Chains A and B, each alone.
Chain A
Amino acid sequence: MALSYKLLAGKTAVITGCNRGIGKAILEGFAANGANAIACTRKETIEFSRFISLLSEKYSVSIIPVYFDASDVDEIKSAARQIMASEKQIHILVNNAGVGYNALFQMSSLEKLKEVFEVNFFGPFLFTQYLIKLMVRQNSGNIINISSTAGMDTYDGQSIYGSSKAAMICMTKVIASELRAFGIRANSIAPGMTETDMLLSLPKDVILEKIRKGGDKGICKPSEIADTAVFLASDLSANISGQVIRVDGGMK
């Protein structure tokens, strides 16, 4: 159940990868807090259409779906153009879409490296470049990049995924610095292991070890990431920029 304090009333957010997992929870958290949303996913599905329709009705907000493949440059450009043509103002951009991958370094191909980076880094990089055009014009904006503790800590098998998330963290900090002059702030949330489909890409023994060490805090709930995103999207964090907030129950 999303916490609802109407912290985002009157704001419009673009959220990528919101048909499941963390993105879906963020969409719900934002809607519960009064934000209108552009909900970006790769494909249209009946379940997702039903989900946004229910959210929209429940919280009296507008949720417009936009479909594009986060690894396809032309689709990213076209989606950005569509959003910029339809919205007068974008207050918040959440770059959440991503893919997981787990393989030992010596078994990680260049092809896979490029594939993961296309979705986890190149896509958000380009999409952000476009959407900040609107934010620069309006002289305000708020970017939240969903990274991972894998981008900061050492996990065997995470050389590709962790590198892509480390790149995302670096981009966040640079954006925060470069765009401060335009009233735009940028932060990143680094979730630890989270109850999503992505968890299935990890070996069972790694998951069990987290549960053994952390108990009920060993694995995060998507709603816990969403609550942090709501905070960063809201004016409660108005003077916070260039930061990475770990949401991992204190686990390392």
Chain B
Amino acid sequence: MTTFGVKQKELKNLTYQGVALWDSVGHMGLIAGLEETFNIMIETDDIIEFNSYKKGFEILKKYGIEL
């Protein structure tokens, strides 16, 4: 699973391209990891909107994933 090497306390404010590893390629890896882990297929619009750790929770909720 992609972690981008971020410490847990830093996750809350993590945003897309906010760290070097969460670039466009890292984003695709992250989406693939989430899809595999939760057995879901994330739509393109949601992949685009998935621009922060916080937003990620909202988007995953749409697919029935409550964390």
Q: Which residues of A contact B (CB under 8 A)?
A: 80-81, 84, 129-130, 133, 136-137, 181-182
CB distance A137 to B32 under 8 Å? yes
Please, how many angstroms separate the alpha-carbon atoms of A157 and B46 in the complex? Answer: 40
Residue B35 at the A interface, CB < 8 A?
yes
Sampled A-B contacts (18; CB under 8 Å): A80-B41, A81-B41, A84-B41, A129-B44, A130-B41, A133-B31, A133-B32, A133-B35, A133-B41, A136-B28, A136-B29, A136-B32, A137-B32, A137-B35, A137-B36, A181-B25, A182-B28, A182-B29
Please, how many angstroms separate the alpha-carbon atoms of A84 and B31 in the complex? Answer: 16
Query: Scoring B residues 1 to 39 as 1 if CB is less than 8 Å from chain A, else 0, what string do you get?
Result: 000000000000000000000000100110110011000
Number of A-B contacts (CB under 8 A): 18
By size class, the interface of chain B is under 10
Q: Which residues of B contact A (CB under 8 A)?
A: 25, 28-29, 31-32, 35-36, 41, 44
What residues of B have a CB within 8 angstroms of the CB of A80 in the complex?
Answer: 41
15 more contacts with CB within 8 A, not counting A133-B35, A182-B29, are A80-B41, A81-B41, A84-B41, A129-B44, A130-B41, A133-B31, A133-B32, A133-B41, A136-B28, A136-B29, A136-B32, A137-B32, A137-B35, A181-B25, A182-B28
Shortest CB–CB separation between residue A130 and chain B, in angstroms? 7
**Cβ-closest chain A residue relative to B35:** A133
Shortest CB–CB separation between residue A88 and chain B, in angstroms? 12
What residues of A have a CB within 8 angstroms of the CB of B44 in the complex?
Answer: 129
Please, how many angstroms separate the alpha-carbon atoms of A33 and B3 in the complex? Answer: 40
What residues of B have a CB within 8 angstroms of the CB of A137 in the complex?
Answer: 32, 35-36
Please, how many angstroms separate the alpha-carbon atoms of A81 and B41 in the complex? Answer: 8
